[in-house]
Amino acid sequence: MLRTFLFTIILAIVFFIAERYSVSPWLHPDWKIILGFFLSVSILTQRLVETGLQDNRERLIPLYLAATVARLILGLAFVGFFLFRHIEQRRAFVLDFLVLYICYTGFEIWTLTRNLRRDS
């Protein structure tokens, strides 16, 4: 979980620097909300998988796939909610969301493969 917090802090610093020192049409003003959403979903799915693996280590694949589907559904609901509210700069919002979705998914896969290499 510490790695997730550190990754989020690094992304927040990158977004803050991009917001502060450049006029970026691709950076949505609500990037902090999107980043908070991904942090909370990552912690939630990580806790779900860890709790499920306490009894049986063979359930890793079904639990991981369930967590991935839950992340996808929660992400679609999140984007749908904000688009339903008619926020400004919709394209920038969706672009920032997709970039962070790919970053967090890549980070999760990297963390998982790193742990699997250590355990094998």
* pLDDT one-digit tens code per residue, 53-92: 777 777 777 888 888 888 899 999 999 998 898 888 888 8
**Strand positions, DSSP E, 17-111:** none
Instruction: Return the top range by mean pLDDT from 42-46, 54-58, 97-101, 107-111.
Output: 97-101
Q: How many domains does the chain have?
A: 1
Distances (CA, A) of 26 to 18, 22, 70, 75: 10, 11, 27, 19
The model carries a pTM of 0.82
Tell me, yes or no, whether 60 lies in a domain: yes
Domain extent for 102: 1-13+37-114
Cα 62 to Cα 52: distance, rounded to the nearest angstrom = 10
Tell me, yes or no, whether 91 lies in a domain: yes
Cα 64 to Cα 111: distance, rounded to the nearest angstrom = 13
Tell me, yes or no, whether 120 lies in a domain: no
Compute the average pLDDT of residues 41-47.
86
Tell me, yes or no, whether 25 lies in a domain: no
